[in-house]
Each structure stands twice: as structure tokens, then as C-alpha cells.
Amino acid sequence: MNLDQLWQNTNEKAPDWQAFARQMAALEIKKRNEKNRLNFLLLSTMAFVGFIAFAYWPLAWTTLIGIVLTELSMLLYLWQYNRHTTVRNITTETSNARVYLEWLYQDRKRQRYLGRQLMSAYFLLLSTGVLVYMWEFVQRMPGFYGWLAYGITLGWFALNWFVFRPRIIQKREATLNDLIQQLERLQQQLAE
């Protein structure tokens, strides 16, 4: 058996450490920008909802409960997202692939928690808050329009829950799994 010929016939090309480091740095920049954007959007949304609550004081107590639940859902998500989303400093390069791989495993676990448990709690609180908030205004509408308003709102929540959320989770996990596989192959090559 000719090992040189077998080596040349292999189709799988080994990942380059420099290419991997550039890909990881790009992911960290993207993650940092996403974290800043999400913080800004949720904080400004919370401020806007708070402004609506105090500028147009609601008549029904259900509206206040809806506002509190909505604000609570955004606050909970911000707190947990910022607590569990860690962005590595790009300037501190880790020469130890094993440490880097362990960090990626932990990051994958954190992403699964954010994508599944936290997002479920967020959607449950947010949708309950919005539906309870709408109650005061839906009561003033004729029957058909009230049901239509609730139907459109529930349809929008269902679209986000069943279509957009799984796609986002799948895309994030695929990116992270790809990086983990590349680093595992690099580590195996270094071990040989």
C-alpha cells in the first residue's frame, strides 16, 4: 500500500489555523455588533412602552398588567442575554486549541439555553403582556374587529415562534458547530 498516493487522494482539505482565526474573529465582531444592537433596540423599546404607559394613562388595570408583563419580558431577556453572551477579546489569541475548543463547547451550551429556554420564557411573557394590554382596546371594538385584532396578533406571534425562531436557532448552531468541527480537525492534526 502506497501511503503517499493515499495521502494525495484524500479529498478533505485540512483547515488552516489562520483562516480559522479570521473566521472566529469575524464571528466575534458579528456577535459584539448583534449584542450592542439588541441592547439598544430593547432598551429603546422599553423606554417607548414606558412613555406610552405614563403619557396615556390607561383606564383598565389589565392594560397596566400588560405593560408590566411586556416590560418584564424585555428586562428578563436583556438581563439573561447579557449574562450568557460572552464575546471574546479578539486581541487575546489563544495558542492552546484545547482551551479554545472548551470555550466553544461552553458557548454552544449558552447559545442553546438562549435559543430555547430563554426565548420560550420571553415569548410567553411578551405575548401574554401584549394580549392582556390589548384587552382594554379590543373591548371598545365591534365583535368582529376585536377577534380580528387578536387573530392578527396571535398569527404574528405564531409566525415568529414556528418560522423565524427555528431558523435563527438553526443558523446560529450551524455556524458554531462548523467552527467546532474545524477546530477539532485542527487539534487532531496537531496531535498527529
What's the pLDDT score for residue 56?
Answer: 84
DSSP 3-state assignment of 24?
helix
Residue 9 is assigned to a structural domain of this protein: no
**Mean pLDDT of the residues in the chain:** 83
Residue 157 and residue 123 in contact, taking contact as beta carbons nearer than 8 Å: yes
- Residue 116's pLDDT is 85
Is residue 115 domain-resident? yes
Helix 165-191 with 17-55: angle, nearest 10 deg: 150
Q: 49-85, pLDDT tens digit by residue?
A: 999 888 888 888 999 999 999 999 999 999 998 888 8
> Per the domain annotation, does 7 fall within a domain?
no
Sheet strands (E) in 32-87: none
- Determine whether 69 is exposed, middle or buried from the number of CB atoms within 10 Å of its CB (0-12, 13-18, 19+): buried
Which residue range forms the structural domain that includes residue 81?
A: 17-86+94-191
Helix (H, G, I), strand (E, B) or coil at 140: coil
Cβ-in-10-Å burial (0-12, 13-18, 19+) of 14 comes to exposed
Least confident segment among 75-84, 102-111, 149-158: 102-111
As for how many domains the chain has, the answer is: 1
| pLDDT of 133 over the 70 cut | yes
For residues 144-148, average pLDDT: 92
Q: Is residue 11 part of a domain?
A: no
The whole-number average pLDDT for the span 100-112 is 84
